[in-house]
Amino acid sequence: MKRVAAALLTGLILLTTHVWASLGEGLAAYRKGDYASAFKFWAPLANAGDADAQNNLGVLFEKGQGVQRDFIAAADWYRRAAEQQHAQAQNNLGVMFERGMGVKPDFKQAAEWYRRAAERRNPNAQNNLGVLYYRGAGVPQDYRQSMDWYRRAASQNNANAQNNIGVLYERGLGVPQNYAEAAQWYRRAAERGHAQAQNNLGVLYEKGLGVPQDAAVAANWYRGAAQQGHAQAQNNLGVLYANGRGVPQDMAQAYVWFSLAAARGHEDATKNRDFADRRLAPEQRERTQQIISSWRPKVVELR
């Protein structure tokens, strides 16, 4: 399941006017994309022990923004802040342990750091801990525990958790299977621009599970996710175009979406692309190739 990546903590804890100014100036520079300046503002504070600045330096090193990308340095800065009870840094350090970035992969350590942050009401950590319980990674597999942490995160409007609750209801894991309930949770996240939830809601509409069967509505939700580069949604939308379900039959459009999904490694899309390709006229093939080569995913900020 997709989870929110490490992010800057915007709720700055202030010690002095100078600290406030430097943290704020660094954040303003970061938002403008001036990462080198952000580093210059935050580095002295981080070295002096400010947890917010330490977490923010971790972000810069993790992403290679204004500095050379260095996962070991990122993990070190996250740890310094995390040991000062900085919840976002604790979550970020958990991500590093889960993914083996700058540290040896260790799901138990990931779970421990997620738990520390989750108990401090960090919604990203609450969702991430729920994912570990879902997978049984670093903790015993326990869908009820997973649901509990997802609900805590969802109550803080975490879109990943809203989608994940929908998954549990759709599959009947830890709760009785309930497609209508799944659709409601998917919709909450989908309406905020969450690509996985948009795809999941599209599937329910295409199949008529918990919602009226409606291929046109399914196509709209698939499209929202497909435009963000979601491979499964791109393939699903291509299938609707190939069959003329919910949209006019259009093999050229189908070929475009199959090709984009195949480029992201979707196996079914590769077969579907080849199927569609055999049904294109030469001029259609040339036009679709131009569309594919110029296509860029839409960047959506969750509302």
Q: What is the model's pLDDT at position 303?
A: 81
Q: What is the model's pLDDT at position 22?
A: 82
In a domain, 12, yes or no: no
In a domain, 7, yes or no: no
Q: What is the model's pLDDT at position 302?
A: 87
Which long-range contacts does 4-7 make (Cβ < 8 Å, 24+ apart)?
4/124, 4/127, 4/158, 4/160, 5/95, 6/58, 6/59, 6/62, 6/78, 6/88, 6/91, 6/92, 6/95, 7/59, 7/88, 7/124
Give how many domains the chain has, as a whole number.
1
In a domain, 136, yes or no: yes
In a domain, 227, yes or no: no
Average pLDDT over the chain, rounded to whole? 94
User: What is the domain-level CATH number for residue 151?
Assistant: 1.25.40.10
In a domain, 249, yes or no: no
Q: By residue range, what is the domain housing residue 149? A: 17-218
Token pair 């984009």 is at which residue?
260
pLDDT of 6 higher than 60: no
- Per the CB < 8 A criterion, the answer to whether 229 and 264 are in contact is yes
Q: What is the model's pLDDT at position 19?
A: 58
In a domain, 279, yes or no: no
Q: Per-residue pLDDT tens for 209-246? A: 999 999 999 999 999 999 999 999 999 999 999 999 99
In a domain, 175, yes or no: yes
- Residue 290 Cα distances to 275, 286, 295, angstroms: 19, 7, 9
Q: What percent of the chain has pLDDT over 70?
A: 93
Q: What is the model's pLDDT at position 5?
A: 38
Q: Per-residue pLDDT tens for 39-67? A: 999 999 999 999 999 999 999 999 999 99
Give dist(CA 137, CA 267) in Å, integer: 27
In a domain, 34, yes or no: yes
Q: What is the model's pLDDT at position 232?
A: 98
